Structure 1
Amino acid sequence: MSLMLCVRLWAVPGNEGLLATYEDEVLSLLGDHGGRLVQRVRSVERGEGPYEIQLVELPDEAALEAYLADPRRLAAAPIRDRSVARTEVTRVTQV
């Protein structure tokens, strides 16, 4: 059974562009793990909510673990550390 994840990302204030660059890079790796980006949206209002929300689908838990451990993704961690203030991941299902 496939996994659907809702990923909510808060940017470090002033580093929204860097967060977008980081996400562009790591989301491009999903296909190498059998996954896909279903939807990606950004807030049009500055406030306390997340800057970006993504729906990501992966075939199974092993694919998720492989994606999270991908050396290319891990190499980008310094960019993530400078740009992402907070991340929340929720497993979801379509209704």
Structure 2
Amino acid sequence: MTIQLCVLLWAHPGRGEALTAYEDKVLTLLGEHEGRLLQRARTRPDGPAGAPDETQLIEFASRTGYDGFLADPRRTALTAERDAAIARTDLYPVDVI
């Protein structure tokens, strides 16, 4: 069963570049777990207050792939980097149309 997710990310104040650097690293792991990045967008600096800094649409071919991505030791080794950069993450299952 395919899993499609919308991921909304907010950086800690002044840490937008760190958020991008972290995501650049972990998103490279998707392909090893039956996943792929469908779309990635950054909110413009003149965007509305409170908007997420980055939005992603991600797809996994299976729950096993998704679980493997979450448990990947290369990803979990970056937890401190993630926590220093990312203040909030909202994740929603979606159907991409």
SS of 1:32's equivalent? helix
Tell me the equivalent position of 1:70. 72
TM-score (norm 2): 0.94
> Structure 2 CA distance, aligned partners of 1:14 and 1:30?
27
Please report how far the alpha carbon of residue 61 of structure 1 lies from its aligned counterpart in structure 2 after TM superposition.
1.1
Aligned residues: percent identity?
45
Distance verdict in 2 for CA 1:46–1:16, change over 3 Å: farther
The alignment yields a C-alpha RMSD, in angstroms, of 0.9
Instruction: State how 1:43-54 maps to structure 2 within 5 Å.
Output: 43-44=43-44, 45=47, 47-54=49-56
Please report how far the alpha carbon of residue 46 of structure 1 lies from its aligned counterpart in structure 2 after TM superposition.
5.8
> Structure 1 CA distance, aligned partners of 2:48 and 2:15?
13
Tell me the equivalent position of 2:12. 12
TM-score (norm 1): 0.96
Matched, 1:87 2:58: no
SS of 1:41's equivalent? strand
Which stretches of structure 1, 4 residues or longer, exceed 3 Å deviation after superposition? none
Structure 2 residue runs of 5 or longer lacking an equivalent are none
| Deviation sequence 1:59-91 (CA, Å, 0-9, x none) | 111111100000000011111000000000000
Please report how far the alpha carbon of residue 93 of structure 1 lies from its aligned counterpart in structure 2 after TM superposition.
0.3
